[in-house]
Amino acid sequence: MLQAGMTVPELSAQNQHGQQQTLRQLLGHKGGIIYFYPKDNTPGCTLEANDFQSLQPSFQELGYTVIGISRDSVQSHAGFCSKYGLGFTLLSDQDGSLCQAFGVWQEKTNYGKTSMGIVRTTFVVDGQSVIVKVYPKVKTKGHAEQVLLDLRVTS
């Protein structure tokens, strides 16, 4: 998994509108919050997305953009954004290249069954694409608020 001090890979993916974008193109003047989540329209992922959406104006005031990434399709992301009024970018990583590059595609165990999947992880990145903080194995409740509090302390 990528760690603080490392540079974000220069990769691109399609957003919920079908436009190809690089992560660097999406960063705010101070940087971005890049969060990886398992699946659109599931309870934990919906909670996390709604929390980031409700706090998006505060992140923007600090100069940060919010970027969500999962392996869902562009169409799934478009529906997810429409259904919940999400106003930030969701990138579709259907081939898994972003998940692999960031190291979030890992073996997971759920109810005794082992499989590969996205380990919910958030990366805070500065305006030069350098990772300044990593939140591994995120629990959704209160996570977006914690990221905002941490940014307020360091900004």
Alpha carbons within 13 angstroms on the beta-carbon side of residue 90 total 32
Choosing from 33, 34, 45, 151, the catalytic residue is: 45
128 contacts: CB under 8 Å, gap ≥ 6: 7
Whether 99 is a known active-site residue: answer no
Kind of pairing between the strands at 121-126 and 31-36: antiparallel
* Number of helices followed by number of strands (H, E) in the chain: 5, 9
Catalytic residues: 45
